[in-house]
Amino acid sequence: MDTFTGARAKAVALSAASALWLATAAAQDGGIAAPYRTMLSQVTAPAIDRGPRDNDAPGPARTSRDRRITRSGNADRPYLSGSVIVKFRPGTSPGAQRAMLALVDGAGTPHLPYADFEIVAIDDDADPEAVARKLSTQPDVAYAQARHLVYPMFVPNDPMYSRQWNYPAIDMERAWDIHRARATDVVVAVLDSGVAYRSALLSFGTVAWGFDAITIFPSLGSIIVPFAAAPDLGGTERFVAPRDFIWNDTLPLDLDGHGTHVTGTIAQTTNNNLGGAGMASNVRIMPVKVIPGYWDQIFGAPFDGTDDVVARGIRYAVDNGAKVINMSIGGPGSAPVVQSAVVYAVSHGVFVVVAAGNGFDLGNPAEGLAEFAPEIDGMVAVGAVGRDLQRAQYSTTGPHVELAAPGGDASRGGTPAGILQQTFDSDMVETYAFGPSRYEAPRFDVFAYEFLQGTSMAAPHVSGFAALLMQQGITDPAAIEAVMKRYATDLGVAGRDGEYGYGLINPRAALRGMGLAK
Amino acid sequence: MSAITTDLIVNGLARPPKPGRRRTVRCAGIVCALLGLCGGDAALAQTQPAPRRPAPASPSTGIRGFADFGSTTFTAGKSFEAVLGTRTGTIFGGGVEVLLPQRIFVSLRASRFQQQGERVFIFEDQTFDLGIATTVRVTPVEVTAGYRFGPRRWRLVPYAGGGIGWHRFEETSDFAGGDENVDETRRGYHLVAGADVRLARWFGVGGEAQWSTVPDALGEDPNSASAAFDETDLGGVTFRVKFIIGL
């Protein structure tokens, strides 16, 4: 590996990307921009599997501070400007709604599907947090909030089952003994950056972009990008009701790799002489794209990953048959719009898993999507442990942490201490990591096994676990949460604590359940 | 041998009456016994008014064997119902009984309850079956001492007693690791009451009710159905029918 293709270059570029701005913005103000992507072919050449990548150095876990990308250039804010989310109480007349919006110089926008709330346009210069607070004081407003940007919770480090320490660590081999060849009617929705679930050949338009208002990367013009299904995720029949809330269509292709990696931990095909294993290898997957990758933004995707998009993704998943929802995503600030959607999900028998957060080293901030998990029986927030089963150094602590699962920690054990799954070969995706001279169109049909770390990697262990429990017959989300907590292996301070919650998940013990006396 | 013979003679059944009459007497005795309406040889006396020979003294001791079956309703009913689908099950057993002077008896019984179910998860008022086969077996070995409310010559003898038992509890299930099956023996106590009815020279039947308690035999493992229901007693109430051979 040459000096510039190594991890350092990636780290530099990814850090820089934390301040990335896009030269061409499409405001996400409730309107649906015409997607600038065209399907050229449904079929492409077979995916390329480049095997494990275990020589790349690990990088930091992704947090809210890493991602300050917005179309309107407000790179330092963790939310979109120019709009807020408002939920009016039932029965509030349109006139009363308009009167309240007038208080903040707001205006309604077209109602979006899978939303029980409204997006209200406000002045671009107005502070969405302040506007939301003002609206919240109105008696006919159930809640109002800024449109917080959400982000994935992992970091790519680099390099099959013998390397997947995470499964033996939670006694999965004996759990699989119990659960081999169960039914496949459980659908797990992966609300993430999309999934490499099918092949396609698409053309995209690109924009020039760079750092700090200086264009570094030129437009690549109109480019053709190949996509392929991840070989180790099995056939396309495993995937149901795909939906893309970033491009507003039904093609939630992963342009990042995060969602594909997360999906692998939930459902990688297992015992098939290929690659690695997954927690629940026979479940079906619903790819729901609610966060963009960098390439989505470079290609001009019309929506960004905000709380309201996540909330709509949750409602979509519920309405289309998901039984488990995995959210390896996080965001700053309270998110009642997401909380409301999760309550809707749980009330419809859907179990929800959210990553607890990666910000321990960054002041241990509250995670907006996870902080309300303890209030909802049927939703759990998951912290991460490393290979030594100690809390990963990045894993956020606090009362919202309810369970712990392997998330990897390269600070104690290097790259192999991450979580290994198949996803895109980062060399083929993160071409911006090598500088402008090597900046080129990405390929999403070349795969590798990569070690990643983060509570993003911990959460899918719990989602897979929940899917196994669903298949086992425990269908009540609150009961699933109860069984997970009951059988968790206590770590750290005796009893529940802010680092591990009730402890490390123990799927084997939970799946085996209760006998009369033991 | 002599004791049995003597007792039968005393009750008049060994006497050679007219063939038809003997059959009538026996049938009446059976009916009375099964209905539980008989009061010992008083009934016999009514149906058999023939004058008796002077009764020789009853032997002071005797021994007999018995086999029984019955139905046990476990005190830990919620736990049994969750795992086995019922709180009541059939129990088979057998033992020996020694009759002592002063109408005292001592018996030793071994019995067995066995049923299959599946492992569960219990959450609030819901029980989720997990599809993992499990077998529960309870094998009590009980020593009972008691008093018979009538001389041995009576055809129907009520009795009552109490005693101590050692209850072996076994629970095995699919996918269990080495220490995950249960095989433990706990001490318990019981009270028993019933009545024996002699139907023939070497054969009798009886009915019996037993209440037993085996404290702290269940509920120790916090991840068990019995702990979930806070049920710790392996005892229960058993109604059984005995078949007695001898005496």
Q: Which residues contact B64 (CB under 8 A, 6 or more apart)?
A: B96, B97, B99, B244, B245, B246, B247
Q: What is the pLDDT of residue A64?
A: 54
Query: Is pLDDT above 70 for A114?
Result: yes
Is there a contact between A329 and A55 (Cβ–Cβ < 8 Å)? no
More confident residue, A163 or A457: A457
State the pLDDT confidence band at B102, using cuts at 50, 70 and 90: very high
CB A307 within 8 A of CB A335: yes
Chain A window 459-488: which residues touch B at a Cβ cutoff of 8 Å? Answer: 472-476, 478-479, 482-483, 486-487
Name, in order, each residue with C-beta under 8 angstroms of A194's C-beta and a sequence gap of 6 or more.
A244, A246, A252, A253, A254, A255, A256, A259, A260, A287, A289, A293
Q: How is B203-230 classified by DSSP, letter by letter?
A: EEEEEEEEEEE-TTSS--STTSHHHHTT
Compute the average pLDDT of residues A240-267.
Answer: 97
Contacts of A479 in chain B (CB under 8 A): 121, 123-124, 126, 128
**A515–B121 C-beta distance less than 8 A:** no
Across the interface, whether the CB atoms of A516 and B128 are under 8 A apart is answered no
Residue A455 has pLDDT above 80, yes or no: yes
How many CB atoms are located within 10 Å of the residue B19 CB?
7
Burial class (CB in 10 A: 0-12, 13-18, 19+), A24: middle
Average pLDDT value for residue range B26-37: 38
Question: What is the rounded CA–CA span in Å between residue A377 and residue A345?
Answer: 11
Task: For residue B211, name the pLDDT band (cuts at 50, 70, 90).
Answer: very high
Any chain A CB within 8 A of the CB of B183?
no
Contact (CB<8Å) A482/B218? no
List chain B residues with CB under 8 Å of A486. 223
Per-residue pLDDT at A103 exceeds 60: yes
Smallest Cα–Cα separation from A297: which of A38, A114, A76, A72?
A72
Considering only alpha carbons, which residue of chain A is nearest residue B169? A517
Please tell me the least confidently modeled range out of A111-125, A252-266, A385-399. A111-125
What band does B130 get if pLDDT is binned at 50, 70 and 90?
Answer: very high
pLDDT digits (tens, 9 = 90+) for A330-379: 988 889 999 999 999 999 999 999 999 999 999 999 899 999 999 999 99
Structure tokens at B208: 């019996």
A305 to each of A67, A148, A458, A468, B204, how far by Cα in Å?
11, 8, 21, 29, 84
| CB count in 10 Å sphere of residue A471 | 21
CB A463 within 8 A of CB A353: yes
- The helix-helix angle for A477-487 and A455-472 (nearest 10°) equals 110
Q: How are the residues of chain A apportioned to helix, strand and coil, as percentages rounded to the nearest 5? A: 30, 25, 50
Q: How many CB atoms lie within 10 A of CB B178?
A: 5
Rounded to whole angstroms, the Cα distance separating A128 from B6 reads: 106
The partner residues of A303 in beta bridges, in order of sequence, read none
Res A429: pLDDT:
94
Residues in CB range of A75: below 8 A, 6 or more apart: A19, A20, A21, A68, A69
| Cα distances (angstroms) measured from residue A379 to each of A63, A165, A262, A311, A353 | 21, 26, 18, 14, 6
Least confident range from A12-16, A131-135, A172-176, A269-273: namely A12-16
Burial class (CB in 10 A: 0-12, 13-18, 19+), A250: exposed
**Phi, psi at residue A343, to the nearest 5°?**
-60, -40
* Interchain pair A517, B224: CB under 8 A: yes
Rounded distance between C-alpha atoms, residue B139 and residue A225, angstroms: 71
Q: Kindly state whether B134 is in contact with chain A, defined as any CB-CB distance less than 8 angstroms.
A: yes
One-letter amino acid at A184 equals T
Q: Which chain B residues contact residue A506 at CB under 8 A?
A: none
Q: What share of chain B is helix, strand, coil (3-state, %, to 5)?
A: 20, 50, 30
CB B108 within 8 A of CB B124: no
* B59 confidence band (pLDDT: 50, 70, 90): low
Q: Search chain A and give the residue with CA nearest B184.
A: A517
pLDDT at A110: 86
Using a CB–CB cutoff of 8 Å, tell me whether B138 touches chain A: no
* Predicted pLDDT of residue A54: 63
Question: Residue A273, exposed/middle/buried by CB under 10 A (0-12, 13-18, 19+)?
Answer: exposed
Could you tell me if A499 and A382 are in contact, meaning their C-beta atoms sit under 8 angstroms apart?
no
Average pLDDT score over residue span B138-166: 95
**Complex ipTM, two decimals?**
0.76
B132 at the A interface (CB within 8 A)?
yes
Judged by CB atoms closer than 8 Å, whether chains meet at B123 and A476 is answered as: yes
CB contact under 8 A, A479 and B228: no
For residues A56, A60, A63, A67, the Cα torsion angle rounded to the nearest 10 degrees is -60
Q: Virtual CA dihedral for A281, A283, A284, A285, nearest 10 degrees?
A: -70
How high is the pLDDT of residue A154? 34
Q: Which of A422, A420, A421, A424 is nearest to A446 (CA)?
A: A424
| DSSP strand pairing (A284-289 vs A243-244) | parallel
- Provide the percentage of residues in chain B whose pLDDT is more than 90: 68
Least Cα separation, residue A197 to chain B (angstroms): 32
For chain A, helix (H) and strand (E) counts, in that order, are 13, 23
Of A205, A293, A193, the closest CA to residue A244 belongs to A193
CB A81 within 8 A of CB A148: no
User: Tokens 């926008």, residue?
Assistant: A109
Site of tokens 């599907």: A113
